[in-house]
Structure 1
Amino acid sequence: MDYDLNYARKALYIMAPLAVMVMYTEGMLIPSLPSIEKEFSVTASQVSWVISIYLLSGIIMNPIAGKLGDIYGKKKILSIVIWIYAIGVTLTGFSPNFVALIIFRAIQGLGLAMFPLAFSLIREEFPPNLVPKAQGTISAMFGIGSAISLPIGAYISQTLGWQYTYHTVIPLVIILAILIFKEIRESRVRLQGYKIDYAGAGILGISLAGIIIGTTEAPSWGWTSLSTLTLLLSSMVLFAVFVIFESKVKYPLISITLLKRKNVLIANLAAVVAGFAIFMAYQSLTYLFEEPNPIGYNLDIFMTGLSLLPLALIQIVGAMSAGRSISLKGPKPVLVLGSAILIPAYFITSILVLNGSSTSIALIILISSISMLGAAYLNVSLINLLTFSVEREVMGIATSINTVFRLIGGSLGPAIAGSIMDTFTTAVKIPNTYITIDIPSDYSFSIIYTISGIVAIIMTVMALLSNNITYKRLETSK
């Protein structure tokens, strides 16, 4: 296959800023979660829906958009999806109440289908030996987006309100949408005669929504209450029904046959546990920084953003170095290394947070930066392990499935973290008053990071079981 490297680089430079755009928006939002919680008078578990609903709608949209891209053209579907995202971003910035915020975030979450389509278009245009570097560049853009959003977005959020950061991102979304429409070529590989499994999408969405609702409301309903147990059990049964349904239907939303391939299965299962641990730990870190003493560090939104900045910078370095390493050695060694780094980082943090604000915040930031380095290695290697293991004809749906599994973990992580913080609380007196408030305890943060560490061990075992593949082997086999 002939490659036009000049066009490939142009396509990369146009689509990589998608990651900057999304992370600018999300990077601003995460430090603002405690403020949103207070503004709309909701609990920590309820405010986690701001993240969870965004990821849940992305879960449902990704396989549909991926399959549509394989059938009708990835550029065409990408152009539609980015305009949906633009609508969601615009509406979210004008949310009048918490219910409206959740609805608009769900619309915005549909735009997460941008990334599998963009990854697939880039994979088609770059020769195999340059794909890891290209995908490493895109992953680095996530870090750049965070690096921009954490000081700038946090300052805007603190001085003008979190809504104004949404207003500032609208022009960038429109510019990228126009550039993609005018400059990006349509994909050259198409699937013929396929249909979209909307029934499967519905079953998947209902089952995952039930699981997230159950974990979110468990602190108020009671973890052992009939309502919680019934909802969680029925949702898990429905998810099992989805798996059986997908194995029988002619045009499945998620191909069970494709999942039977060892590397594809490992890449997707690993995406679940990686998304779960990373999202859970990252959200908890924000609360830890902004909680009052003696549990947290009593930082405002702007200082929280500055404190998280080293994590964004290390993500840039990690993603770029991961891309180069994968080009030389293949994705497996980098995947194992990234997973292994997370284990001590999470367990050490789980011990440090028990000391509350008496632990140096610089030490917390250092350990968290190390964990972000591992996460960067892990994310870049996972997408390369997957794309090197499937044919071009199914690249769109394969990358979409991987995003679905990553988002499943990512949607459950914040929900469970919020539930744990609501379940294990401690009373803190407001300075200069007789008023006490309940806030997440140091024990709740320790539990969260301990769970993340256990999940990282599972991730490492999966990485060791994968088969390595390099671009040289890929070229000789295709």
Structure 2
Amino acid sequence: MNVAKNGETYDLKYAKKAMLVVVILPLLVMYTEAMLTPALPTIQKEFMINPNDVSWILTIYLLVGTVSVALFGKLGDMYGKKKMFLIALAFYTTGVSLNGFAPSFQWLLVTRAVQGVGMAIFPLAFALVREEFPPEMVPQVQGMISAMFAVGMVIALPLGAWVTQNYGWRWTYHSAAPFAILMFFLAWKVLRESRYINPGKVDWIGALLLTVAVVPALVGVTRAPNIGWTARQTLVLFGVAVVGAILLVPWERKAENPLIPLDIISARNPVIVNIGIMFAAFGISMMSQADTYILQMKPPFGFGKTILQSGILMTPMAAVMLVVAPLAGKVMPKVGAKPLAMTGTLTASAGLVLLSKYATQLPLWEFVTLITIVGTGITLMNISLINVLVFSVSPRVMGVATGANSLFRNFGSTWGPAVAGTVMSTYYILFHPPGTPSFVQIKIPTSKAYEVLFGASAIIFLLLAILTLAIVEVMKGGKIKDVENKGEEEMAN
């Protein structure tokens, strides 16, 4: 069945098949990535490395992925989004398949870097959704994608702990590899090539400058909690990143076919969404780290739950998000993306204020209820912002727009754990675990640490609520304002 909307024809039968692919995608990726977290201590022991080294298993994936999302987004606009999506997914599948066979820590880092290239599948998938789905379906599909992120995380954390404990960390990847391969063939068979292609030369100098601006900054942020924020190495890394950013901006302004067209990402709605997503990711990652510690620290410092129990306790949040996300996508065209974004940010902020005051004093069920409320607010905000973005940018440059958005998201996600680790290392008490030698002491975050983390996150989401006031509404009363027909100039005013 074909439907004509705004001068474009959409195949609903195909759209529903494609929806299956893009909705399963975040479930697979979150399953793969979250299963790794409980396995890190086991990997550290097997390869006989220190905690700082083992953190690179996460860092290398993020470093490569942050550059990849911007580069592949642009290449998708130039050569076809399906083509680049399959190439990125091939990298991801190869990395996942090889990780479990790594003979050394160095080889594991190489295969994780290969996997990181595949992070570009997300901006390309978001761009394909915007191109191939009727406008009124896009918010619903984006809602389902958001819900799958939460479901994948909740499933993977306890499952990853169980697999690692019973079969070893390598099986966390062995169990994921067949699904990644199946996903590749499903995408190759089902997806169609994008209808908008803008041929041109690749901006390799822009890619190099972006790498210089991004990679040192992320390395500096990752290492700062261990070596110090004012250490010489940290300052040098930040300095190199600043120089790279300073050189990148004028080059992209004059480049014939810029990697990151500044006029697109600096337009009113895109810049609000990118800043909002970056700070939201920062607040979410800080909050998540605090949640993990509270659930797993022994009383009176926490609830003393295992990784498996912690995952189960997060199930209510995932269940609510699974319902709220697609429902929000369905009602969004009627009520507007802006009111939902405002509702989400204020809900998250209010819940975080309560957590900052009472987190360590609450009964377990009240704590779970509060993090579920916060998760619901974050879901509403995320769905609203991504829909604001995809309806504020022409489909012809959607790969660039979603790639840049993923880059900003990664920046926020990297800063969050680093700042959270610093806060927890600032407000702590020394604890002697029973049954261990007298000289063994571990740092336990105090209630002040949680107050700072949850409180800072609450302020961030309150500021985001204010920021959403500046959004130009893209949908309301059942009508979606299509930038392709209205013109980007009007949307920017």
Compute the TM-score of the two structures, normalised by the length of structure 1: 0.91
Deviation at 1:98, TM superposition (A): 5.0
Tell me the C-alpha RMSD between the 2 structures: 2.5
Alignment pair present for 1:458 and 2:463: yes
Deviation at 1:379, TM superposition (A): 1.4
The one-letter amino acid of 1:259's match is I
Deviation at 1:33, TM superposition (A): 5.0
- Tell me, in whole angstroms, the C-alpha distance in 1 between the residues paired with 2:287 and 2:168: 25
Is contact 1:338–1:376 with CA below 8 Å preserved after alignment? yes
Provide, for residues 139-183 of structure 1, a one-character-per-residue CA deviation record: whole Å limited to 9, x for no partner: 222233234324433322333334322211111111111111122
Structure 1 166/7 Cα, relative in aligned 2: closer, same or farther at 3 Å? same
The one-letter amino acid of 2:408's match is F
Deviation at 1:420, TM superposition (A): 3.4
- Tell me, in whole angstroms, the C-alpha distance in 1 between the residues paired with 2:56 and 2:353: 26
Structure 1 239/474 Cα, relative in aligned 2: closer, same or farther at 3 Å? same
Structure 1 184/414 Cα, relative in aligned 2: closer, same or farther at 3 Å? same
Alignment pair present for 1:372 and 2:370: no
- Other structure's SS at 1:439 match: strand
Structure 1 204/329 Cα, relative in aligned 2: closer, same or farther at 3 Å? same
- Tell me, in whole angstroms, the C-alpha distance in 2 between the residues paired with 1:32 and 1:369: 26
Deviation at 1:87, TM superposition (A): 1.4
Alignment pair present for 1:14 and 2:21: yes
Is contact 2:391–2:481 with CA below 8 Å preserved after alignment? no
- Other structure's SS at 1:2 match: strand
- Other structure's SS at 1:299 match: coil
Aligned residue in 1 for 2:339: 333
Deviation at 1:423, TM superposition (A): 4.6
Of 253, 269, 285, 1:263 maps to: 269
The one-letter amino acid of 2:317's match is L
Q: May I ask how many residue pairs the two structures share in their alignment?
A: 473
Aligned residue in 2 for 1:436: 440
Structure 2 residue ranges without an equivalent (≥5): 1-7, 488-493
Which structure exhibits the higher relative contact order, with contacts defined as CA atoms closer than 8 Å and separated by 6 or more residues? 1
The one-letter amino acid of 2:334's match is L
Aligned residue in 1 for 2:486: 477
Alignment pair present for 1:381 and 2:384: yes
Aligned residue in 2 for 1:159: 166
Aligned residue in 1 for 2:288: 282
Is contact 2:427–2:445 with CA below 8 Å preserved after alignment? yes
- Other structure's SS at 1:461 match: helix
Alignment pair present for 1:446 and 2:451: yes
- Tell me, in whole angstroms, the C-alpha distance in 2 between the residues paired with 1:159 and 1:298: 22
Compute the TM-score of the two structures, normalised by the length of structure 2: 0.88
Q: How does 1:287-302 map to 2 (within 5 A)?
A: 287-302=293-308
Aligned residue in 2 for 1:205: 211
Is contact 2:225–2:418 with CA below 8 Å preserved after alignment? no
Tell which deviates more after alignment, 456-465 or 23-32.
Answer: 23-32
Is contact 1:75–1:186 with CA below 8 Å preserved after alignment? yes
Deviation at 1:425, TM superposition (A): 3.9
Is contact 1:25–1:149 with CA below 8 Å preserved after alignment? yes
Deviation at 1:125, TM superposition (A): 1.6
- Tell me, in whole angstroms, the C-alpha distance in 1 between the residues paired with 2:177 and 2:190: 20
Deviation at 1:90, TM superposition (A): 2.1
Tell which deviates more after alignment, 8-17 or 139-148.
Answer: 139-148
- Tell me, in whole angstroms, the C-alpha distance in 2 between the residues paired with 1:266 and 1:150: 32
Is contact 1:46–1:418 with CA below 8 Å preserved after alignment? no
Structure 1 residue ranges without an equivalent (≥5): none
Alignment pair present for 1:273 and 2:279: yes
Provide, for residues 402-446 of structure 1, a one-character-per-residue CA deviation record: whole Å limited to 9, x for no partner: 111111211222233234334544321111232432224123343
Tell which deviates more after alignment, 316-325 or 278-287.
Answer: 278-287
Aligned residue in 2 for 1:394: 397
Is contact 1:133–1:327 with CA below 8 Å preserved after alignment? no
- Tell me, in whole angstroms, the C-alpha distance in 1 between the residues paired with 2:135 and 2:175: 37
The one-letter amino acid of 1:268's match is N
Deviation at 1:102, TM superposition (A): 4.0
